[in-house]
Amino acid sequence: MTGKRDLFAQPKTPFDTAQYDLQQVFYKSKDGTKIPIFIAGKKGLKQDGTARLLMTGYGGFNLSQTPRWNPEWAWWLSQGGWFALPNLRGGGEYGEHWHEQAMFEKKQNVFDDWFAAAKFLIDNKYTSSQHFAITGRSNGGLLMGASVTQHPELFSAVLCGYPLLDMLRYQKFEQGPQWTTEYGSAENEKQFPYLLKYSPYQSVKEGTAYPAIMFFTGDSDTRVDPLHARKMTALMQAASTSGRPILLHYSLSGGHSEGVGVDQQIQDDADQLTFLWTESGPVAPKHASM
């Protein structure tokens, strides 16, 4: 063993990694737990609160979230935005104990880790709430739902993909019964109270200024029933007073694992990125009524 490292393979993509910095830092969650977060951006990008930032997360099912190649994130970086990925409890980054700290009645730890990450990034002037975009799907879609219902003031643009949102009824549809070992079930009288407390659908409040939101799902999702996104869209459109768009991007052929052609995938990615970039930019001035 010499310790020498050589380049074995490198993808041929039009993205010069030498122009970007990636760092891992730690911040404290609400209960004092230290949480790691990866932050990437162009070298020399100013930390003055004016740059757009895209953050994604998952926090569940013992799945680790580590840096990897993603063309959507690369596009965001190339446009001059920051990208952030916190390793929330619920994942497997530090073993099963890390996972268990966000199961059942401890699920709120995931959301608290996430909000602490957002506040850390704002406090350190990577961005501001006006330029803060977030995205997550499936269990990460639940995270997006909790974001807009618990702390809508922190974010500007939200992409909520294939989400679990009605946590009182999720177990009745599609593969929901399999996930009661992670979340619990409202049919259990001891688990009902904590599910009710954080369930996004039951937490929507009329008269709240919600951020711009795009719910993303399709008829062919056989894991998380698209009813979650459909009814949440209608409820939030009726409740929000911000005037920001609340949209439902609905596909007749796409499902939870996408399963669409390359052309359709490119179009879907373009729709999502256009929405997030536009809605995390300067807010257009309101026109005076005639």
pLDDT at 290: 37
pLDDT of residue 289: 40
Nearest to 123 by CA among 256, 27, 9, 229: 27
This prediction's pTM: 0.93
pLDDT mean by block of 10 residues, the chain; 290 residues: 84 89 97 98 97 98 92 96 98 97 98 98 98 97 98 98 96 92 98 98 98 92 88 98 96 67 86 97 56
Strand partners, 20: 42
Q: What is the pLDDT of residue 7?
A: 85
Active site residues per annotation: 138, 256
Alpha carbon separation from 46 to 50, 136, 225 (Å, rounded)? 8, 26, 42
Task: Go through the domains of the chain in sequence order and give each one's CATH number.
Answer: 20-279 (3.40.50.1820)
- How far apart, in whole angstroms, are the C-alpha atoms of residue 139 and residue 9? 33
Q: What is the DSSP string of 145-207?
A: HHHHHH-GGG-SEEEEES----TTTGGGSTTGGGGHHHH--TTSTTTHHHHHHH-HHHH--TT
* Rounded distance between C-alpha atoms, residue 43 and residue 47, angstroms: 11
d(CA 217, CA 49): 32
